[in-house]
């Protein structure tokens, strides 16, 4: 799987290649990352990739022409019969979620466009972008941090990066939030680990974890419960538990 990143700040992508569990995805070759400095595709002496917006307004707009030249270079090197999707990070985009991460993890990769300044010329977006993606309802200085978040999330799903049950139990993998976790010591600051987790009774432990996941999701993200219910992912025992706690 290959990801190409078009960015003004390629140095920001060094950390995920050198640190953390997800480094295994890069070391093993399961994921490959190619960084493309957008200024290399500017044609003037100042390596300009932005200009003032037509119609006035604050900030600068990233120019379509150097972006197109960079994208042409990426696609020439990838040499794919079906071009990889171009993803652009924008507050107007689809919210990044685990379903999209899983979709990308099952594919050949993508080209990531990291915008800066006031935005990107809309004509380039209309002509070339497959999907716009947002991390949430807030504004960042550029697309590099969202791109890093996406790369990390996809890397966790690559074979050999995590033990298989680990990512299967992550929040959102089954549409719910993951419940609370506990470790040593058994009592800390007067607070004890729930006894069922020490019982060794696997069925009771599984039920306890499922109920804590349901309760946390219902209290914090009730829309996820509604979505799970609509998709038929809640069992009769789940519904009985939710009714028993008034949720």
Give catalytic residues, as residue numbers: 91, 118, 156, 170
Residues β-bridged to residue 133: 94
207: which 2 tokens?
A: 């039920």
Provide the 8-state DSSP code for 173: T
Q: How far apart are CA 234 and CA 247, in angstroms?
A: 13
DSSP 43-82: -STT---EEPPTT--SS-EE-HHHHHHHHHHHHHHH--SS
What does the chain come to in residues?
Answer: 247
242: which 2 tokens?
A: 């939710």
């Amino acid at each position: 799987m290959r990801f190409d990143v078009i960015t003004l700040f390629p140095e920001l992508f060094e950390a995920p290649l050198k640190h953390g569990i997800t480094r295994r995805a890069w070391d093993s070759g399961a994921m490959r990352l190619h960084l493309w400095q957008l200024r290399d595709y500017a044609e003037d002496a100042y390596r300009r990739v932005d200009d003032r917006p037509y119609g006035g307004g604050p900030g600068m707009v990233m120019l379509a022409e150097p972006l197109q030249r960079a994208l042409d270079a990426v696609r020439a090197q990838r040499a794919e019969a079906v071009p990889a999707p171009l993803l652009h990070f924008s507050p107007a985009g689809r919210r990044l979620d685990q379903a999209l991460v899983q979709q990308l993890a099952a594919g050949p990769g993508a080209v990531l466009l990291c915008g800066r300044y006031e935005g990107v010329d809309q004509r380039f977006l209309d002509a070339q972008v497959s999907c716009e993606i947002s991390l949430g309802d807030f504004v960042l200085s550029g697309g590099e941090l969202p791109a890093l978040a996406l790369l990390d999330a996809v890397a966790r799903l690559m074979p050999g990066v995590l033990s298989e049950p680990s990512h299967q139990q992550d929040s959102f993998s089954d549409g719910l939030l993951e419940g609370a976790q506990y470790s040593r010591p058994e009592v800390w600051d007067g607070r004890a680990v729930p006894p069922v987790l020490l019982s060794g009774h696997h069925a009771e432990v599984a039920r306890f974890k499922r109920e804590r996941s349901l309760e946390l999701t219902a209290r914090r993200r009730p829309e996820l419960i509604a979505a799970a219910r609509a998709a038929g992912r809640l069992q009769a025992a789940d519904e009985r538990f939710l009714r028993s706690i008034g949720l």
